[in-house]
Amino acid sequence: MILKKDFIEKYTDLLAAEAPAFFETFEKEPVTAFRTNPLKERQQEFPDKIPNMSWSYYGKISGKSPEHVSGLIYSQEPAAQLVGHIASPKKDMKVLDLAAAPGGKSTHLLSYLDNTGLLVSNEISSKRAKILVENIERFGARNVVVTNESAERLASVFSAYFDMIVLDAPCSGEGMFRKDPAAMDYWNADYPAQCAQLQKEILASAMKMLAPDGQLIYSTCTWSPEENEEIVSWLLEQYDLELIPIDKINGMVDGIGYPETARMYPHHFKGEGQFVAKFRNLATPSVKKIRQGKSNLNREQVQLWQNFCKDNLRTNLEGVLQVFGEQLYLLPHGLPDLSKLKIARNGLHLGTFKKKRFEPSFALGLALISKEVVHRVEISEADFVQYVAGNTVSVPKELPNGWYQITIKENGLGFAKVVSGVLKNNFPKGLRFRS
């Protein structure tokens, strides 16, 4: 890999005697890894566990595998996984992932929340927000709203609201050069300073949304001090914050001048580049009231949903039922009025109201576990190949007609109807593929 002269000079000065070992890593292959999803009912063991971290493994699994399609695994390189590990939100927290696409950090945060509290997962790019929604849906979480907004507009709705805000900030991307060599094309000596200005603007909005005693996790995938420790200095000068020390594991090292922060270099750490700092908000609490959302279903819609639940579910789903057009969603409790925001996913998509009937969604079938559904049908791996390609699948003829949660390796793969020994295909057309 050919590195730019300014980059070589910068990190020769910064790393001194360690510089040769650092530059040598750019001739090596990037490290791949993945996490397992603790929200899924049937877990699997994999080789090459990443030490000191929950759910994390080195290696690679095909995006066409049952494990990936059912949401049991999420591919994410090791340094990026440390952001969620350091955040480690507690159950029932209200959490914001401010720059969330494609969804690695959001799904990691959801693993800790365990379908409690709330995650608002935001992405300003409409195109990337669609990818984020797809990954969140596959993960099977129920307590997520995906927004497609600027930090400034979010701050107008979520004033001092979140117990934790995670900002993996847009940055110069130096830590991704090995994984994505194209990131070098737009790097120049002035680029980190330009990125730092944008990071400050986003953080100014983030601080308006952070509740007193709330935690801010700030990270970048770059080694540039302008975007890392200098941002830490700026935050400590501008706001009433304190740094929370980060335990160093797996080759992480102290930040420059701030031992509470963490840097990941590929010559120390088995992964790519990352910087993380963790803060606590020391601001004085104020009393705020959140207007609870109300259901907007009409009488017929309520009856259709209740009929579906009676026939097909063994659980009462907690949240606020909201219909948007003909689409039914379950929103987490305690949300402010979101009507002024662009929403990419309004909670858990439950399904669609059609003429005199309700059809359950793919997302609902991914989210539920066996004790929560009345009817389940397990398909084989051979049937899985046919089903994800859009074909019907034969099932035992003695199975009664009706809605079934489909499972592969005992994890949900959506809902579909059984009619006379045939499992109709309900796998979303936009997700279909051939192995």
**Residues carrying an active site annotation:** 221
According to the annotation, is 382 in a ligand binding site? Answer: no
Cα Rg, the chain, nearest whole Å: 23
According to the annotation, is 105 in a ligand binding site? Answer: yes
Report the candidate in 67, 68, 118, 72 with the shortest Cα–Cα distance to residue 92.
118
The answer to whether the beta carbons of residues 328 and 358 sit under 8 Å apart is yes
According to the annotation, is 33 in a ligand binding site? Answer: no
Helix (H, G, I), strand (E, B) or coil at 209: helix
List strand residue ranges (DSSP E) for 112-161, in order.
118-122, 144-147
Antiparallel, parallel or unpaired: β 144-147 and 343-345: antiparallel
The answer to whether the beta carbons of residues 45 and 73 sit under 8 Å apart is no
Half-sphere exposure in the Cβ direction for 356 (13 Å, CA): 0
Which residues, in sequence order, are CB contacts of 338 under 8 Å at separation 6+?
145, 147, 157, 346
According to the annotation, is 359 in a ligand binding site? Answer: no
Quote the CA–CA distance of 299 and 8 in Å, as a whole number. Answer: 67
According to the annotation, is 168 in a ligand binding site? Answer: yes
According to the annotation, is 99 in a ligand binding site? Answer: yes
The answer to whether the beta carbons of residues 158 and 207 sit under 8 Å apart is no
Report the candidate in 227, 122, 223 with the shortest Cα–Cα distance to residue 170.
227
Residue type for position 12: T
According to the annotation, is 103 in a ligand binding site? Answer: yes
According to the annotation, is 79 in a ligand binding site? Answer: no
Distances (CA, A) of 128 to 62, 100, 135, 217: 21, 9, 11, 22
According to the annotation, is 149 in a ligand binding site? Answer: no
Specify binding-site residues for S-adenosyl-L-methionine.
Answer: 99-105, 123, 168
Specify binding-site residues.
Answer: 99-105, 123, 168
